[in-house]
Amino acid sequence: MVRSTHLEPFAFRSILVSALLVFAAASGFMSAAHATQLSSTARSGMLPSPPPPSGAALPTRIALAAPSTTTTTTTSRNLLASALLSAPNAFAGAPGANANQNTLVLYDSTGQWGWLGEAYAVMAGNLVTHGSKYTMHAAVNYVAGELNGYTGLVYVGSTYGEPLPTPMLDDVLATTKPVLWMNDNIWQLSARATDFAGQYGFTPMFFDFSNALTVTYKGVALQRNALTVPSGLLQTVINDPTKAQVLAAATNDVGGTINWATRGGNLTYIGEIPFAYTGPNDRYLAAADLIGKVSNPAMLSRKRALVRIEDVGPDADPAELRAIADYLFSKNVPFSVAVIPFYVDPNGVYNNGVPVSRHLYQARGVVNALHYMQSRGGTLLMHGYTHQYSNIPNPYSAVSGDDFEFFRAHIDASNFVIFDTPVAEDSAMWAQGRITKGQLEFAAAGFLAPTIFVPPHYAASAIDYQVFKASFASRYDRGLYASGWCPNGACGTGTPDYTRIYGQFFPYLVRDIYGSTVVPEELGNVELVAFNNNPPRFPADILYSANCNTVIQDGVQSFFFHPYLDISYLKQIVQGLQAMGYTFVPANTVKQG
């Protein structure tokens, strides 16, 4: 049967994010042209950049927050560290994280765009967990001596002129622990220092607005979305090459270079927000690697790969499944199989108008093929209960494998998929009911219940994600997050705003803000035709993305494949990754750290 394509997680948008950006332009907070750019990019579900600075020059007058009166004795520092570790904004690391490491993540929270700071910090915190546990909160709430309770600091400066506490600046300048500073307000740190250039060997200079669309890191050219250009890239100059070095450089369209990431002593500086306008081949990958160097300086250097066979339901072709199993087994490639245990076509879209439903246990050929796949190194995963919602298009056909299950969506007049809201019935009881039904379907077909869950189209509500965590050892996906869920870094204490949603892919194992261990999938899948404004994606494109991911220390190259496609595409990707020196391992191995 002809099946519609799998919706990539980076192919969605939030309507009201777009509306809010247009409102910002109308209110004069940013230029109308820049707001239009932000609005159009919101279609992809990527977070926008912060509003651009008023000019290229850095501020010459710095207004700092009032000094903290917190006592900084050793006793008080220890009490503070103990309190923070038990706070709701303290998070555990992923399996395999260094137990001796503990990272502090600080972010900007003031002004109209403070919600962006929380979102950027969530993305940074998720990545930190690969190396360590962490605590996350707004920078304005920093207290003197706090950094002493941590092994490293990540600060995301997204608000131009955020009133950073003087003790925070003083503690950063005094520490020898690794610090990663992103984007704004580095000028506050340099102004506070007695001799910033002498201490770190470099100086922040001005914002560069040239059309710099390539960032080279570890010799690999990564992409930088053109929509980041209006927000600028803060340029640095190296004063002392014995103390500082350029880790990554951006190249503009006239051959000029701009320092993208600079390291001086224990301080690493990135001249923009690397979580804005991200893509599969993006400079976000460089940031993910640099975060790892703060969260765990002793990070392992494994080269592992994963392959997942996607959307396998009672309607699958057993012969195709067996052929895939035989090929992967011949190449010593363990693999996963994302199984949809109950197939429904409520309107008969693929059956001449006659409704169809089929349980997994009723498809004996598929059941036998799945057992065969297990014998050849396959691990079964649960890919939703029906992988569709009700009898209405959501957004395609209402057929299993085509549509969303835990979130509502539609296609707009411009052919973009619009994420709307969680389904009307959404609750812990409703989500748990679907999970339980799916587990019973596996049991009825003679299989143990899977321990790994793949949310259909990588979309669910915050409530649903908590149900998934309680029911499965791990998820295997890209996360979908909503602003407002983590006030002052205390995730789960706020109310998610589904008009401000954003996705994130991971290049390695993490434990995200929902508490779930997340097995990564960042390379995507083969798509032979364009859909919903996404271009086709062939094996060469996936391998290109894999080459970009080689900048990640301890990265996992992970993709998925639909069995109804020609197996030659699968072979090209597998052989390409093996030629790059990556070894395929089971998802169960990766989830253990």
Dihedral through CA 43, CA 1, CA 452, CA 522, nearest 10? -40
Average pLDDT over residues 105-109: 98
Q: Tell me, what amino acid is at 580? A: M
- pLDDT (tens digit per residue) in 333-350: 999 999 999 999 999 999
pLDDT at 237 over 60: yes
DSSP letter at 361 equals G
Average pLDDT over residues 563-590: 98
First to last CA, the chain: 39
Please report which confidence band the pLDDT of residue 30 belongs to, taking 50, 70 and 90 as the band edges.
very low
pLDDT at res. 80: 47
Please report which confidence band the pLDDT of residue 63 belongs to, taking 50, 70 and 90 as the band edges.
low
Average pLDDT value over all residues in the chain? 90
pLDDT at res. 335: 98
Average pLDDT over residues 15-43: 31
| pLDDT-above-90 percentage for the chain | 87
pLDDT at 16 over 60: no
CB 184 within 8 A of CB 210: no
DSSP H helices, 376-480, are 428-444, 462-471
pLDDT at 68 over 80: no
- pLDDT (tens digit per residue) in 285-298: 999 999 999 999 99
pLDDT at res. 468: 98
Q: What is the 3-state secondary structure (H, E, C) of 466-526?
A: HHHHHHCCEEECCEEEEECCCHHHCCCCCCCEEEEEEEECCCCCEECCCCCEEECCCCCCC
d(CA 334, CA 174): 49
d(CA 511, CA 591): 10
pLDDT at res. 65: 59
Q: Tell me, what amino acid is at 566? A: D
- pLDDT (tens digit per residue) in 360-418: 999 999 999 999 999 999 999 999 999 999 999 999 999 999 999 999 999 999 999 99
Residues of the chain by 3-state class (helix, strand, coil), percent to 5: 30, 25, 40
d(CA 329, CA 376): 6
For residue 525, the Cα-to-chain-centroid distance in whole angstroms is: 17
Please report which confidence band the pLDDT of residue 459 belongs to, taking 50, 70 and 90 as the band edges.
very high
pLDDT at 19 over 50: no
- pLDDT (tens digit per residue) in 157-211: 999 999 999 999 999 999 999 999 999 999 999 999 999 999 999 999 999 999 9
d(CA 169, CA 577): 44
pLDDT at 266 over 70: yes
pLDDT at res. 46: 76
CB 517 within 8 A of CB 509: yes
